[in-house]
Structure 1
């Protein structure tokens, strides 16, 4: 299993770039909640040990790494709302969240490593798309950790307001409990109406 490393960042530094940000998003698949993106500029001299794709890490490990990332790197987090997801589509909304996260970095980066195979059209900085970037780039891995923990916290908060859907455990993804609750309890303001399971309940014959 491959581990992310600093080679993509090192290549950008060798080209004369000084501030390389890794950018990742989380929350494309859920039926509810925002999509969240993070941008992280690591300090090459103080990279936290154990950075990896957030999906491969335990909650305890993610939380420990979050503290190390926040204390040693420059980070920014941004979101696209459920309304934006429904009006734009999930891909464009996830790109919008990425664009907002990059814009929130101050000072601004001068090179971007973007997780995925597409570069958001609103980004004008030099950048490269990295397929499975959270498993290849330490900066993108750090961004995946920051974005996931932030979005999970949002869903835990929303679960207090709308109990029964299991968002504190499923983060809005279509688990069995979530799908059953949709039928029994109905659609909340935080559900993505453009997503088929939600749309079908709203517009069933």
Structure 2
């Protein structure tokens, strides 16, 4: 029985609880998982079921977060390029002899290509995006932009080295830049074929010797 005169605590009426849908994934993590799959198998061989299993997201969630499969591929490639740029930008910008700079650039590239020694994935650009570029104008533009960006970065390095007297007056920074980029691509292809890292490093050192015009570094 309720006694008169007693102050009773106020009972607030609570409506039905709203059952929100907590985000079950981290977008950056999910994108990284998708990136790994695309690097490993390419666009065509990577199914939506594969992507769903790797990211832990069902198809509607994938579509809602990243768009269709092609959009997710492009976002993955964009992420790859950003990560690669971040890994190398300080080496390109730093103040060091050209031989040391090239050696460090190629070492950083190999760190990316053979991060997983049991399943080296090589370079996203060379191993998968270049294939998709044949039929997809947007991806082709991205690939060509990536090539141009790398060439330009290398050319700047060789130009500074020439100004400091590290290269002969006859050296052409533009041509050397293309050779340096071609060496990056060669390392990417051979790493995908599981050529041992010590052999890849020997290729890089030989290329450095040729580009810098002298004996082995």
TM-score scaled by length of structure 1:
0.32
User: As a proportion of its length, which structure holds more helix?
Assistant: 2
- Greater gyration radius: 2
Higher strand share: 1
